[in-house]
Amino acid sequence: MTALHDAEIEAVGDGLDAGRSLPARWYADPATLEVEQELIFRRSWQYAGRADQVAEPGAFITTHAGPVPIAVVRGKDGVLRALVNVCRHRGHHVLEGAGSCSSLQCPYHAWTYDLDGALRRIPRGEGLPVGELGLLPASVAELGPFVFVHPEADAPPLADVVGELPDVLASCGVDLDRMAFRRRIPWTLEANWKIGIENYLECYHCPVAHPGLAKAIDVAPGAYRLETHPTFSVQKGMPRDPDEQPWMHDGEIVRAQWHYLWPNVTLNVEPGPQNLSIDVWWPDGPGRTQGHTDYFFALEVPQETAEELMTFSRQVGDEDGALVEAVQRGMASGAVPYGRLMPESEQLVAHFQRMVLAALRRA
């Protein structure tokens, strides 16, 4: 399936080589999003939730990977599984939310499945091939306190996508094994998912749009470090005056760091005590993005410090929300066919756009 012609794909590639951005149309076109759902989100690992939520047999969480509903269930045998959360009868979701259960029963007609997805019982279903109608398998993997899912049963290992990212986190003082969940904050952006991530991937706008962040973190070009890796990218900045944000200078983590992981996961670490937040960005139409941020801290981090950090984080997030929604309106106008990227300050944006283009070339 593709709504993008080969000639258009190649022309976009030539434009990226010349320093132009992806076409504005790709940020507002339903047909482009349809191709992205098929070629990116149905074929990628994405953050699903917390490992502590599915630690015990029978525990489950529900999520989605792009358009595909997924249930993550810990079996009676202790094995963690991901299942396509669509009943094989008429397509209703089998599970909702999170919790614990001894079997999986569709609330529509009570088709009942074992925790491994095998179909156990069909009311009035004599003669139907029960053994052929189990829930479809997906893929699941754990990374520290996080659970990731992939819509395909034969997905490549999560480690192939994550690469050296855990080592990069550890090198900056982050100890994933000490992280414990504190809070989830859901959010919505009236903007294309790519606009949100591209804004995340550059701090060129920080001195203008984030005065509080720029006052706390040194975002000058010579001090603010950018790194690209095959499937992720990294931004790092040192804290400034300890009088501005004292908690940034009191802990094991000495440098702010922001990590993007293909295709729609971002991980944020502030200087100071053991902390990490993880965001997932889901397209909800060409001009809308749904997501949430899960905040983690070491158990010894006082709640007062955690509240300060989360407030600081959400202030920056709210400022970014206004920016990306304005960009969406500009892109959707069609008045300017593409933008021009700054080769140094926006190199991570260019890196991301090339990843998008590479994925769409798979059609």
All domains of the chain in start order, with CATH:
6-40+160-360 (3.90.380.10), 46-154 (2.102.10.10)
Burial of 280 (0-12, 13-18, 19+ CB in 10 A): buried
pLDDT of amino acid 1: 36
Instruction: Tell me the residue type at 205.
Output: H
pLDDT of residue 363: 57
The 3-state DSSP class for residue 260 equals strand
pTM for the model: 0.95
How far CA 327 is from CA of 37, 187, 323, 339, 342, in Å, comes to 22, 18, 6, 11, 17
Specify burial of residue 228 (Cβ count, 10 A radius: 0-12, 13-18, 19+). middle
Write down the pLDDT at residue 246: 83
Q: What confidence score (pLDDT) does residue 163 get? A: 96
pLDDT at 6: 77
pLDDT of residue 7: 82
Distance CA 117, CA 326 (A): 44
Q: What are phi and psi of 287, to 5 degrees?
A: -120, 25
pLDDT for res 3 = 54
Give the three-class secondary structure for 91: coil
Q: Which residues of the chain are under the pLDDT cut of 50?
A: 1-2
Chain centroid to CA 184: how far? Answer: 14
